[in-house]
Amino acid sequence: MSDDFELDTDDLKRRMDGAMGNLRTEFASLRTGRASASMLEPIMVDAYGSMTPINQVGTVNVPEPRMVTVNVWDKGLVGKVEKAIRESGLGINPQLNGTIIMLPIPELNEERRRELGKVAGQYAEHARVSIRNVRRDGMDQIKKAKADGMSEDDQKFWESEVQDLTDQMIKNVDAALENKQAEIMQV
């Protein structure tokens, strides 16, 4: 091994893990027919002149399997929270009860399940592209080091390290996608 070149595989792994984290967040926002507080995480509310996450203007609860409630702390924001939920694209019709907004989760039909499966596939493809971009960055660092005098054996070693890491992360994305699609299709 060359003493003057050391690829920062920890940095590459951290960046690939970041892509996996984003994928998990995107998957959590997909509605699967079961109530989940995480499905409201991407929703932002126009509160006090700035866009604020919904969980910072009220308490999000799941009192039963097909119901999510949002207990809004400030009465003046109830309408804005309701509007943000309606416009979020979740396909949920909020019902007001004082400062509590109830969100009954309707049963998903077969067509909607297939659509959500395709969306999950798109999210997974974005994660794969991000992981491949990190791989390309690593390979570029290796090529630069090769131009600076790295031996061919060292080049092959580091390229196989980066490729092995990439293959493992892509397998993780595929496994997560398979699990999410099974969860979506579950009746």
Nearest to 62 by CA among 104, 111, 115, 21: 104
Interacting residues of 147 by C-beta distance below 8 A, sequence separation 6+: none
Phi, psi of 7 (to 5 degrees): -70, 135
Q: What pLDDT score does 92 carry?
A: 79
Q: What pLDDT score does 31 carry?
A: 65
DSSP state of 34: S
More confident residue, 53 or 32: 53
Summarised one tens digit per residue, pLDDT across range 29-52 is 776 667 777 778 878 898 888 898
% of the chain surpassing 90 pLDDT = 37
Q: Are strands 58-64 and 67-72 parallel, antiparallel or unpaired?
A: antiparallel
Cut 0.75: pTM above it: no
Summarised one tens digit per residue, pLDDT across range 85-133 is 888 777 778 889 888 999 888 777 888 788 888 888 999 999 999 999 9
For 152-156, which contacts have Cβ atoms below 8 Å and span 24 or more sequence positions?
154/1, 154/2, 154/5
In Å, how far are 7, 14, 15, 39, 169 from 140, measured between CA atoms?
11, 17, 15, 38, 19
**CA 175, 179, 182, 184 torsion-angle sign:** negative
* Residue in this structure with the two tokens 């570029």, named with its chain if needed: 140
Mean pLDDT within 64-87: 89
Mean pLDDT within 45-66: 88
| Highest CATH level, class, for 34-104 | alpha beta
**CA 12, 181, 61, 45 torsion-angle sign:** positive
Does 2 score more than 50 pLDDT?
no
Mean pLDDT within 130-156: 92
Kindly write down the DSSP assignment for every residue of 45-76, as one continuous string. Answer: EEETTEEEEGGGTEEEEEEETTEEEEEESSGG
Q: What pLDDT score does 99 carry?
A: 85
The torsion of the CA quartet 34, 39, 40, 41, rounded to 10 degrees, works out to 150
Q: What pLDDT score does 32 carry?
A: 66
Q: What pLDDT score does 1 carry?
A: 42
* Residue in this structure with the two tokens 């920062």, named with its chain if needed: 8
* Homologous superfamily (CATH) for 9-27+109-185: Ribosome-recycling factor (1.10.132.20)
Q: What pLDDT score does 185 carry?
A: 81
More confident residue, 183 or 165: 165
- Residue ranges of the domains in the chain? 9-27+109-185, 34-104
Pairwise CA distance, residues 43 & 37, whole Å: 11
